[in-house]
């Protein structure tokens, strides 16, 4: 998760050139944020067009098939399982991604403690206790990274409820990168998402640093809203994270987290559209 802990499979992260080349992000370079542009609209357009999402899914499907064929020839290649697991996750096939990440650890047990991607995949596969355990053992590998503590909290909320999750928040004594000290306090109930975002927007920062901090803030404010059951607000914040230029072009762990935001945003949007469709269905008379 940490910026210094880049993934070995850099090819799993889609570069800015690729995203722009297929028109993946509509709002980049605009002075107004996507939320500001869509003020007053009930259902703002997604930052990624349907055409682009289709191209992305097709690309992922091709690469999953290619990696599957490669694994038939090299069934003990850890890197191939890593790359396929990433693509399965990005495609929304969470249980299958968990299986590939588990296989990595089976082949190389030294990966066990540090495999945060497995923890996130477990969370989305609704294997919440396993997810929480992964983030607990990661803490022994890196006791500075509050981002790991956040994911343990999110998993615990799903497994045992918010009150117990807050009681069990991991403790951190050393400094961490911004904006995670404040973001972590939000999950403890000591900060609001609005306070975090306003602090970043009003701080004396370079444009790049502000964009970077806003990516993480919007992502984790959105995830917090999601576990709190505020789906509309969660969708709005995750939309901002997906439209963030720094997140989409980032490599390694940050680029992986942009994919997390994209996947979660799509899940929320699809659920909303499904509910809307049900509500508009004609009722049959008796």
Q: Per-residue pLDDT tens for 113-127?
A: 999 999 999 999 999
Q: What integer best gives the mean pLDDT of the chain? A: 87
Is residue 162 pLDDT above 50, yes or no? yes
Mean pLDDT of 33-53: 68
Cβ–Cβ under 8 Å, residues 254 and 232: no
pLDDT of residue 144: 84
The confidence band for 110, taking pLDDT boundaries of 50, 70 and 90, is very high
Query: 47-112 has which CATH code?
Result: 1.25.40.10
Q: What is the Cα–Cα distance from 264 to 91, expressed in whole angstroms? A: 11
pLDDT of residue 272: 93
Mean pLDDT of 233-250: 95
Instruction: Break the chain into its structural domains and give their ranges.
Output: 47-112, 126-175, 177-266
List CB contacts of 103: < 8 A, sequence separation 6 or more. 81
Cβ–Cβ under 8 Å, residues 193 and 186: yes
pLDDT of residue 2: 56
Calculate helix-pair angle for 116-124, 146-160, nearest 10 degrees.
30
CA distances from 17 to 79, 216, 228 (A): 25, 21, 36
pLDDT of residue 280: 76
The confidence band for 64, taking pLDDT boundaries of 50, 70 and 90, is very high
pLDDT of residue 30: 42
Q: What is the Cα–Cα distance from 218 to 38, expressed in whole angstroms? A: 17
Counting residues of the chain whose pLDDT is more than 70, the rounded percentage is 84
List CB contacts of 44: < 8 A, sequence separation 6 or more. 34, 35, 37, 38, 236, 239
Mean pLDDT of 94-113: 97
Question: To which H or E segment does residue 286 belong?
Answer: none
């Amino acid at each position: 998760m940490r910026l210094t802990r880049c993934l070995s499979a850099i090819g799993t992260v889609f570069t800015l050139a690729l995203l722009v080349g297929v028109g993946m992000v509509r709002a980049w370079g605009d002075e107004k944020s996507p939320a500001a542009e869509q003020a007053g609209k009930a259902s703002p357009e997604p930052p990624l067009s349907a055409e682009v999402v289709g191209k992305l899914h097709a690309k992922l499907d091709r690469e999953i098939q290619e990696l599957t064929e490669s694994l038939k020839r090299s069934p003990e290649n850890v890197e191939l399982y890593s790359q396929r697991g990433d693509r399965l996750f990005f495609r929304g096939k969470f249980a299958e991604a968990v299986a590939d990440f588990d296989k990595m650890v089976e082949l190389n047990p030294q990966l066990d403690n540090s495999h945060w991607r497995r923890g996130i995949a477990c969370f989305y596969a609704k294997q919440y206790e396993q997810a929480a355990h992964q983030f607990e053992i990661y803490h022994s590998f890196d006791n500075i990274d509050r981002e790991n503590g956040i994911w343990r909290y999110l998993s615990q909320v799903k497994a045992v409820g918010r009150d117990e999750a807050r009681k069990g928040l991991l403790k951190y004594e050393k400094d961490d990168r911004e904006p995670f000290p404040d973001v972590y306090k939000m999950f403890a109930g000591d900060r609001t998402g609005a306070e975090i975002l306003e602090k970043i927007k009003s701080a004396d920062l370079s444009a790049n640093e502000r964009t970077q901090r806003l990516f993480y803030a919007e992502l984790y404010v959105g995830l917090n809203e999601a576990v709190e059951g505020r789906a509309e607000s969660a969708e709005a914040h995750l939309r901002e994270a997906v439209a963030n230029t720094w997140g989409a072009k980032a490599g390694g762990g940050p680029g992986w987290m942009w994919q997390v935001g994209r996947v979660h945003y799509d899940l929320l949007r699809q659920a909303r559209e499904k509910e809307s469709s049900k509500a508009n269905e004609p009722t049959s008379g008796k």
